[in-house]
Amino acid sequence: MKRICLPLLLLLGFVHASGQQRLLTQGATVLKGTLVRVSDPFHPDRKFRPAVVRNEEGIIGKKEQAEFQPVSPYPLLQQKRDEGLQSTAANRPPESVAAFDGLGYSNVCPADPTMAVGPNHIVQMVNDRSGTDLQIWDKGGNVLMGKKLLSDITGVQGYGDCIALYDALADRFILTEIQFGSALGFTIAISATGDPLGAYYTYVFPNTVLTDYPKYSVWTNAYYAKTNDFRPQGGSFSYVGETLYAFDKQGMLNGNKTIDVQTLSLPPSNAFFSMCPAGLAGATPPPSGTGGLFAYMNDNTWTKSGTDSIGVVEYSVDFTNPANSHLTSTSFAVAAFDPGVQNIAQPRYQRLDALSMRIMNQPVYRQLSASASLALAFPVLVNKGKPVAGIRWFELKNASGSWQVNQQSTFSPDNMERWLPSISIDGEGGIGLAYNVSSLSLAPSIRFTGRRSTDPLNTMTVAETSLQEGSSGSMCYGRYGDYNHLVIDPSDNSTFWFTAMYNSKPQWSTKIGSFSIGSSLSPALTVRNTTAGDRVAANTFRVYPNPAHDKLTVTIPSSMTKPVLQVLDMNGKVVGLYRQTGQTVDVNTAGLPRGIYLLRITAGTTVRQVKFAKE
């Protein structure tokens, strides 16, 4: 929900030297959340009667009219040339591609598509005129639970702006939406077990401001979030800054009746507007004591400085003594970019909202063997005779206790518009980047690219590939997406899952797609795209437990006949070989030294491989 009538922001102008850390604020406010229901999605609250709370344009208040955009008081400082442009197309084919239909049009714009992927389930959510729709599939695209309102589970009237997450550390699903009307705040439902079809603990977190455009992240010691805050004033709203939240994760996992949430607020600022928390990819935690991380951007026209920058805010929370909780910020000078994308071209209908000047959902943190990586992305303006939207992406590295910019680039290989990016990192440090694409002659569509960890820096090397091509412009009041969601499969740490809107008719649809970019250890592997007949079976590939001790169990897709399994060490030496006729095999790892290994499965020209750890 983004349609808010606002005065201009006060400008907080600052950019500090690359890598310099500073304290932003200290001393948290403690709020309380309340457990209001323990529910089962197959047994919705029969006392609850949902109301229509939005119109088709997504507006939920009488005087909400225009969305805030950061102002540029020094526009002449804007560099017209993007200094990180990748204007050539990538050409390496992806290892696999598959997709199936997600939730459909719900009589409201935009969808806000979001998705959580666990070992066996996919949970997708979109906006509904009565709150949030959700549906659950297995990884073959089979529906396990048909469409429901999230409020059927929570018993609380919701207003959308939904986010779905999977916590690989705790094996739990987290489903969220905002509250509005007579109550402000947000609702969070967390699964009581790793089964999203089972019971949920529902928590309500009241607030005194409209907690708009919330984004959440999974971390070790807490669940973190941020909101854009709008204070009700005479039937309208005024922007009052950003709030960062740290939720007592262990209490929520336990189903405690009350939950402490610590909040730290930042004043109105272009840089901090719509910052976004970084989610944890994989089940390897960051170093002990690492706080929740949030990414932001700073354009030089906002600050009258000589350079553009990005930054990382770390939220160090102390649940015992809130006075010790604090935020620190580190910023980095980067290649010049222009975040001022106005709107997106499409066939026939009005131009689309670019959702510019904000970090897009969701930055991702991955702990690798020798370092940590943090990836983020947002749309930028690229001038190629005519201005088009491209995608600026970054990877930060932390190998010795401090973050550095490892690589950055703007992906814009032609004159089409690319926007609403989402980014993630696989188990080898490869990066997937997925987004919407459109032009005056191309209907809004869904595509992706990527790069392996050993590829040349600052370059996407995987050929841009379609998950779904559109065939119609969008007649949705110029609203589109608001965000998309790319996540990594926790069962293999190599399959990316993406959900986004596309248009086959004037009303939107959504797609759920998966792809993998292959192992950096074997760049010359011969692979093939999956066919329509074996895409469902291909998604049944599983390797567990990971890390392994004495045994690694492998579930093999039925489409892979007479597969050969190899276990390789990190030098490429084969240390185990298995031939299998069934669909499940136990790999003996008892005799292997501790370390990282590659499991490779070959069947004809089809190859699947994944890293695993031996402990």
For 368-412, write each residue's pLDDT tens digit: 988 999 999 999 999 877 899 999 999 999 998 899 999 999 999
Angle at CA of residue 216, ends 213 and 221, nearest 5°: 150
What CATH code would you report for 540-614?
2.60.40.3080
Q: What is the pLDDT of residue 613?
A: 81
Exposure string over 133-151, b if 16+ CB within 10 A, otherwise e: bbbbbebebeeeeebbbbb
Global pTM? 0.83
> Does the pLDDT value for residue 538 go beyond 60?
no
Name the percent of the chain in helix, strand, coil, to the closest 5. 5, 50, 50
pLDDT in tens, 242-264: 999 999 999 999 999 999 999 99
Size of the chain in residues: 615
pLDDT band at 524 (very low <50, low <70, confident <90, very high): very low
Work out the percent of the chain whose per-residue pLDDT is above 90.
63
Note the Cα 342 to chain centre separation in Å: 23
Confidence label for 537 from pLDDT (cuts 50, 70 and 90): very low
Every domain of the chain with CATH number 2.130.10 lies at: 21-516
Q: What does the block give as tokens for 245?
A: 């939240």
- Which tens digits make up the pLDDT trace of 311-329? 999 999 999 999 999 999 9
What does 505-573 look like in DSSP terms, one character per residue? SSS-EEEEEEEE---TT-TT----PPPTTTHHHHTT-EEESSSBSSEEEEE--TTS-S-EEEEE-TTS-
**One-letter amino acid of 289:** G
Candidates 227, 207, 122, 103; CA nearest to 164 is 122
**Angular region, 478: left φ>0, alpha ψ -120 to 50, beta rest:** left
Q: What pLDDT sits at residue 536?
A: 35
Distance from C-alpha of 341 to C-alpha of 208, rounded to nearest angstrom = 32
For CATH 2.60.40.3080, the residue range(s) in the chain are: 540-614
Per-residue confidence (pLDDT) for residue 19, from 0 to 100: 63
pLDDT band at 500 (very low <50, low <70, confident <90, very high): very high
- Give the pairing type, strands 364-367 and 386-398: unpaired
Q: Contact at 8 Å (CB) between 300 and 77?
A: yes
Which has more confidence, 459 or 96?
A: 459
Residue 131 CA to residue 234 CA, distance in Å, equals: 24
> Each residue of 58-68: pLDDT tens digit?
876 544 434 56
Give the CA distances from residue 568 to residues 193, 251, 598, in Å, rounded to whole numbers and listed in that order: 34, 41, 5
Q: In the predicted model, what is the mean pLDDT of residues 547-568?
A: 80
pLDDT bin (cut points 50, 70, 90) of residue 548 is: confident
Integer Cα distance of 538 and 364 in angstroms: 26
- Cα torsion 316, 322, 323, 326 to 10°: value is 20
The more confidently predicted of residues 503 and 610 is 503
**How does the average pLDDT of the chain come out, rounded?**
87
Out of 49-63, 125-139, 205-219, 501-515, least confident range: 49-63
| pLDDT tens, position by position, 558-593 | 767 777 888 877 666 778 777 666 778 888 888 888
Q: Determine the pLDDT at residue 606.
A: 64
| pLDDT above 50 for 539 | no
What CATH code would you report for 21-516? 2.130.10
Dihedral of the alpha carbons of 131, 136, 137, 142, in degrees to the nearest 10: -90
Nearest-angstrom CA–CA distance, 495 and 514? 7
Q: What is the pLDDT of residue 203?
A: 97
What is the pLDDT, as a whole number, of residue 456? 94
